[in-house]
C-alpha cells in the first residue's frame, strides 16, 4: 500500500470505530466467530497493513468467542461460548466490561498523546499498542513485537532491562525518525532492518509519498461548518473528522479571548487558514493536523511565505504555524535551525482540542 492508501485505511477504521462507538460496543460487536466487522477483526486483520501482531493467540483480546465448544486451558476461564483471562472476571460479562474499560483508557490516552500511561493498562501489549497506534494521530511507530522493539532500542543506544517500557522505546524511535519520512516509511525501514524478514504481513511494502495539493482561491468567511463529511477516495466512502476546522475554530476562540471581541478574524481568505487584523500588522495562521510541530512547520511554512508575498496589504505581516501538540525538544531544535539558516521570522503555536 502507498501512503495515501494507508491513510485511507486508517480513516476507514476510525470511521467504523470512533471512541463513541467503542463506548457503546457490545461483546458481540467486540469479538465473534465469522464476524468480519467486530472491533477485534478490524484491529487484527483489516488493518494489518498498519502493523501486524499475527501469530498471537486469541487471548490477546482479553476475551474471545471459541470456534468449538471445547474449553481451552485450565488457567483461563470459560463458559459454553467464550474464553477469557481469569484476571478480568468470574463471568463473560464482567470480563468484557473490564476489558472494555481498559480499552477505552488506552484510546483516550493515545488520542491525547499520553503514551507513558498506556504501559500500565491491563491489556496484552501487542493488542494494546496496536490500538494505541490506531488512535494516536500517527504519533507512534506501528511495530509491536517486543523482540523487534528491543533490537531497535539497542541500536539507538538504549540499554534494555526488564523495566524498559514500550512507551520509552516508542519515544526513542520517534526522536530518531527522519523528518521527511512518514511513520509508515520509517516502520518499513526499521522492520526490514530489525524484524523478521520472512514476515509477509505488509511491513516491508514500499510506501509512496502522496502528491501535494494545488493552491486555489477562496473567498473569506467568518463561519465554519464542523460537521463530519463523507469523502470518496479510491472507491471508498470514508468518514473524515474535521479536525482541521475544529483547530481553526479553537484558534479563533483563543485569539478573541486574547485580543478582544472586536478583533477581526477571518477564515480562508485566499487560502489563509486564519487571518488576524491588527491596527499596525496582520497575522497569518496556517493550521496543520500533523502529529508533530516539525511536520506542521514543514507543511505550512512555504504556504505562509507565499501568502505573505501575495497579500497586497502594506502592513507588517507575521507568520504563525498552528498545530494541535506542543513542540518536543527535537521540534524546538528544528525551529531554531530554520530561523538561523533561512533568516525567516515565524512562530509555532499549539491549540488544544480538549
Pairing state between β 272-277 and 281-287: antiparallel
Measured between alpha carbons, how far is 52 from 274 in angstroms, rounded to an integer? Answer: 40
**CATH at 257:** 3.40.1350
Residues 143, 285 share a domain: no
In this structure, the answer to whether residues 259 and 153 fall within a common structural domain is: no
- Are residues 180 and 273 both part of a single domain? no
**Domain span at residue 99?**
3-194
Would you call 291 helix, strand, or coil by DSSP? coil
- Domain end, chosen from 131, 166, 194, is at 194
Assess if residue 232 is contained within a domain.
Answer: no
Please measure the distance between the N-terminal and C-terminal CA atoms of the chain and give it in whole angstroms.
33
Task: Tell me the per-residue pLDDT of 87-128, one tens digit each, with 9 for 90 and over.
Answer: 999 999 999 999 999 999 999 999 888 899 999 999 999 999
Half-sphere exposure of 284 (CA within 13 A, CB side): 26
Residue 205 domain-assigned (yes or no):
no
Residue 50 lies in a domain: yes
Q: Is residue 65 a part of any domain in this protein?
A: yes
pLDDT in tens, 1-18: 887 788 889 989 999 999
E strands, the chain, where? 63-65, 77-78, 82-84, 229-233, 236-240, 264-269, 272-277, 281-287, 316-323, 347-350
Domain end among 194, 211, 231: 194
Side-chain half-sphere exposure of 246, counting CA atoms within 13 A? 11
138 lies in the same domain as 265: no
Give yes or no: residues 257 and 345 share one domain: yes
Q: Residues 132, 43: one domain?
A: yes
3 state SS of 334:
helix
Task: Specify if 216 maps to a domain.
Answer: no
203 domain-assigned:
no
Q: How many CB atoms lie within 10 A of CB 332?
A: 14
Kindly report whether the global pTM for this prediction surpasses the value 0.85. no
Q: How many domains does the chain have?
A: 2
- In this structure, are 170 and 270 located in the same domain? no
Residue whose C-alpha is closest to residue 99's, from 4, 157, 176, 29: 29
- One domain, residues 159 and 257: no
Are 262 and 168 members of one domain? no
Q: Tens of pLDDT along the chain (354 residues)?
A: 887 788 889 989 999 999 999 999 999 999 999 999 999 999 999 999 999 887 678 889 999 999 877 766 667 899 999 999 999 999 999 999 999 999 999 999 998 888 999 999 999 999 999 999 999 988 999 999 999 999 999 999 999 998 999 999 999 998 888 877 888 889 999 999 998 654 444 443 343 433 333 344 556 666 666 655 544 443 223 333 467 888 888 898 899 888 887 778 888 777 888 999 988 999 999 999 888 888 899 999 999 999 999 988 899 999 999 998 888 888 899 999 999 998 889 999 999 876
Last residue of a domain, one of 161, 194, 227: 194
Q: Are both 174 and 264 inside the same structural domain?
A: no
Model confidence over 52-86: pLDDT tens digits? 887 678 889 999 999 877 766 667 899 999 999 99
Q: Are residues 190 and 275 in the same domain?
A: no
Q: Judging by beta carbons within 10 Å of its beta carbon (0-12, 13-18, 19+), is residue 14 exposed, middle or buried? A: middle
Please give the Cα distance from 114 to 107 (Å, whole number): 10
Residue 170 in domain: yes
Do 278 and 154 belong together in one domain? no
In a domain, 233, yes or no: no
Amino acid at each position: 500500500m502507498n501512503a495515501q492508501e494507508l491513510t485511507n485505511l486508517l480513516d476507514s477504521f476510525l470511521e467504523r470505530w470512533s471512541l463513541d462507538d467503542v463506548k457503546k460496543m457490545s461483546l458481540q460487536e467486540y469479538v465473534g466467530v465469522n464476524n468480519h466487522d467486530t472491533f477485534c477483526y478490524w484491529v487484527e486483520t483489516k488493518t494489518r497493513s498498519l502493523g501486524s501482531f499475527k501469530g498471537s493467540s486469541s487471548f490477546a483480546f482479553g476475551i474471545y468467542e471459541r470456534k468449538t465448544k471445547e474449553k481451552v486451558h485450565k488457567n483461563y476461564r470459560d463458559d459454553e461460548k467464550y474464553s477469557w483471562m481469569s484476571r478480568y472476571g468470574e463471568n463473560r460479562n464482567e470480563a468484557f466490561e473490564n476489558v472494555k474499560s481498559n480499552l477505552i483508557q488506552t484510546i483516550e490516552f493515545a488520542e491525547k498523546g499520553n503514551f507513558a500511561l498506556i504501559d500500565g493498562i491491563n491489556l496484552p501489549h501487542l493488542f494494546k499498542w496496536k490500538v494505541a497506534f490506531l488512535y494516536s494521530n500517527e504519533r507512534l511507530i506501528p511495530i509491536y513485537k517486543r523482540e523487534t522493539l528491543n533490537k531497535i532500542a539497542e541500536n539507538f543506544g538504549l540499554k534494555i532491562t526488564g523495566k524498559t517500557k514500550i512507551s520509552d522505546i516508542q519515544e526513542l524511535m520517534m526522536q530518531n525518525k527522519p523528518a521527511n519520512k512518514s511513520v509508515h516509511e520509517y516502520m518499513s525501514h526499521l522492520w526490514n532492518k530489525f524484524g523478521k524478514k520472512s514476515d509477509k504481513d505488509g511491513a516491508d511494502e514500499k510506501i509512496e509519498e502522496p502528491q501535494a495539493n494545488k493552491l486555489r482561491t477562496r473567498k473569506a468567511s467568518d463561519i465554519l461548518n464542523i460537521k463530519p463529511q463523507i469523502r470518496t477516495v479510491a472507491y471508498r466512502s470514508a468518514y473524515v473528522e474535521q479536525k482541521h476546522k475544529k483547530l481553526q475554530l479553537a484558534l479563533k476562540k483563543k485569539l478573541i479571548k486574547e485580543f478582544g471581541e472586536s478583533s477581526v478574524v477571518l477564515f480562508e481568505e485566499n487560502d489563509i487558514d486564519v487571518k488576524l487584523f491588527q491596527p499596525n500588522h496582520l497575522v497569518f495562521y496556517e493550521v496543520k493536523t500533523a502529529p508533530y510541530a516539525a511536520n506542521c512547520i514543514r507543511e505550512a511554512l512555504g504556504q505562509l511565505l507565499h501568502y505573505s508575498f501575495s497579500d497586497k496589504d502594506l502592513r507588517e505581516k507575521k507568520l504563525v504555524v498552528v498545530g494541535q501538540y506542543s513542540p518536543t525538544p527535537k521540534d524546538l531544535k528544528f525551529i531554531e535551525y530554520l530561523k538561523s539558516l533561512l533568516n525567516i521570522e515565524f512562530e509555532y503555536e499549539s491549540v488544544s482540542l480538549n
